Chains A and B, each alone.
Chain A
Amino acid sequence: MSEHEFEAYLQQLANRLRLSTRQRHHIAGELRDHLEARLDDLTTRGIDRDTAIQQALQEFGDTHTLAHDIATPARRRRRVRIAKALATAAAAVALVATVAVMRPISFPGLEAERAPSLPTVDIASPPPAAQASKPPRTHGTQVIVETRLVTANDRALADAGLNHANLLRTPTPIADQATTAAFIKAATTPHITTPRLTVWASEPAYLLLSTHRAWLPEGKEDVAEEVVFLNQGIAVRVLPAAYSDTQQLTMSFEVLTRWGEDTHNLPPTTSEDEPGRWLGGRYQATWEPGQTLAIELPVDPRTLDFKEFANAEPNDRSILLIRLRALDTDTEGTVTIWPEPA
């Protein structure tokens, strides 16, 4: 008898586990560690090696029962994940478009030295809700905004989606009140639907919101203004689709945002790469047993200002990048992104 018996046992167990290769590998690795430690202990106590191997294996029981017992939590976890993926309500980026937020509001440029540092946000104390920083504008340049929200687990894919030709069409200036009203109505109607998005601990989700700028032609060419119509209403809303009547569900997220004028000048990977150039915080959402309410993770309001500048070209854009990352393995889940109805 030899330690090959351990491997034979583990192989037989792995074969019985109806789990992913990765999960089977991890389970076998963990049990191997236990078996070897147990063997060391037993032989140190003077038990002969063959007997010790046999005893160590007996303590685990037969592979059929163990495979069933050990895979049940993993399968349940996977079912919850799939249920979340299929649910219509998992999480949302709420885009609230109102007449009030149509006003152009200036905000400082994105120079590195002016970018506020990444705040340390108490996980239990999310930042306050966004506040309108300027009174409504009653005159001046009216603008057209086109937005598109792209989500992906891969930055390159998100960038590619955002650079789709549809986004490059020249905005149409609004010339009269009726058109303006129609536009406002359109802008306040939920129309940005994005694919479902999985947020993994190891795989952040990227949400890129593209905004085109335009301006009225009547002598206003020198006052190009950008408007983003989500002054106050952006948030990540998390609603567990699968919930338990008996267990508490906890999910932790990091929500970071960053402005840029092109996908190329947005930070490439993580907050650690460019400390101080992201805004956002970390939040933990916990649902008590049976609770099905949505929990809102606010996006830092400072990212929701406007940028005012001269000499803009019609197809210039601003892009809001939101990086949503699960913070631990307990946060595996799927989110759905959609605009909140006005």
Chain B
Amino acid sequence: MNGLDAKQRRDLFRGSFDVMVLAVLADGRQYGYAIQKRVHQASGQTIKAGTLYPLLHRLEAEGLVAATWETGAGRDRKWYALTPAGQARLKAAAADWQAAFARMQALILPALRRVAAQPIPE
């Protein structure tokens, strides 16, 4: 029996791409492609390239990340790092996430216990 389908799983995270990117940058500065891979590795979710870069540029415009350019191995690379404002946003978003998660658990876990006590009809 399946739970959430792929779209529903994606929708679960869609509103939280910002915080996922900020969380990746909390480990240190990264460039776009590495951020995308790290998010996928950690969450199983892929932020499409066409979504990731507008998001990064928006975070930059909002002052939540700061970007620098470096040249290495013949390639120009734009690196992103968390700003103090980004750290503050991450903290606030993490608190929201935890609160939302706790509320969902408070709803789901008792329900799970109730249905687990009942046999699943054939």
Residues of B within 8 A of A72 (CB): 54, 58
Residues of A within 8 A of B39 (CB): none
A59 closest partner in B (C-beta):
B49
Q: Does B57 contact A (CB under 8 A)?
A: yes
Residues of A within 8 A of B69 (CB): 26, 29
Residues of A within 8 A of B54 (CB): 66, 69-70, 72-73
Q: Are A30 and B78 in contact (CB under 8 A)?
A: yes
Q: Closest approach, in angstroms, between the C-beta of A239 and any C-beta of chain B?
A: 17
Residues of A within 8 A of B49 (CB): 31, 34, 38, 56, 59-61
Q: Are A70 and B53 in contact (CB under 8 A)?
A: yes
Q: Are B50 and A65 in contact (CB under 8 A)?
A: yes
Once the chains are docked, how many angstroms separate the CA of A29 from the CA of B66?
Answer: 17
Residues of A within 8 A of B66 (CB): 328-330
Q: Closest approach, in angstroms, between the C-beta of B71 and any C-beta of chain A?
A: 10
Q: Does A2 contact B (CB under 8 A)?
A: no
A74 closest partner in B (C-beta):
B57
Q: Most chain-A Cβ atoms within 10 A of its Cβ — which of B33, B75, B77, B88? A: B33
Complex interface bits, A9-50 against B, C-beta within 8 A gives 1, otherwise 0 = 000000000000000001101111110111000000000000
Residues of A within 8 A of B88 (CB): 248
Q: Does A247 contact B (CB under 8 A)?
A: yes
Q: Does A286 contact B (CB under 8 A)?
A: yes
Q: Are A70 and B57 in contact (CB under 8 A)?
A: yes
> Given contacts A73-B57, A248-B85, A329-B66, are A33 and B77 in contact (CB under 8 A)?
yes
Complex interface bits, A311-342 against B, C-beta within 8 A gives 1, otherwise 0 = 00000000000000000111000000000000
Interface size for A (C-beta < 8 A) is 33
Q: Does B93 contact A (CB under 8 A)?
A: no
Residues of A within 8 A of B50 (CB): 59-61, 65-66, 69
Residues of B within 8 A of A73 (CB): 54, 57-58, 60-62
A29 closest partner in B (C-beta):
B76
Residues of A within 8 A of B32 (CB): 30, 33-34
Q: Are B83 and A31 in contact (CB under 8 A)?
A: no
A38 closest partner in B (C-beta):
B33
Complex interface bits, B72-85 against A, C-beta within 8 A gives 1, otherwise 0 = 00011110000111
Interface size for B (C-beta < 8 A) is 27
Q: Which B residues between 37 and 75 are near A, CB-CB below 8 angstroms?
A: 48-51, 53-54, 57-58, 60-63, 66-67, 69, 75
Q: Closest approach, in angstroms, between the C-beta of A206 and any C-beta of chain B?
A: 25
Complex interface bits, A53-77 against B, C-beta within 8 A gives 1, otherwise 0 = 0001001110001100110111011
Once the chains are docked, how many angstroms separate the CA of A70 from the CA of B61?
Answer: 11
Q: Does B31 contact A (CB under 8 A)?
A: yes
Q: Are B61 and A248 in contact (CB under 8 A)?
A: no
Residues of B within 8 A of A294 (CB): none
Once the chains are docked, how many angstroms separate the CA of A186 from the CA of B2?
Answer: 82
Residues of B within 8 A of A70 (CB): 53-54, 57
Q: Closest approach, in angstroms, between the C-beta of B37 and any C-beta of chain A?
A: 8
Q: Closest approach, in angstroms, between the C-beta of B27 and any C-beta of chain A?
A: 19
A63 closest partner in B (C-beta):
B50
Q: Does A250 contact B (CB under 8 A)?
A: yes
> Given contacts A70-B57, A73-B58, are A33 and B75 in contact (CB under 8 A)?
yes
Residues of A whose CB lies within 8 Å of any CB of B are 26-27, 29-34, 36-38, 56, 59-61, 65-66, 69-70, 72-74, 76-77, 247-250, 284, 286, 328-330
Having A30-B78, A69-B51, A74-B61, one finds 4 other A-B pairs with CB under 8 Å, namely A26-B69, A34-B53, A69-B54, A248-B62
- A-B pairs, 8 with minimum CB distance: A61-B50, A69-B54, A73-B61, A73-B58, A59-B49, A77-B61, A330-B63, A37-B33
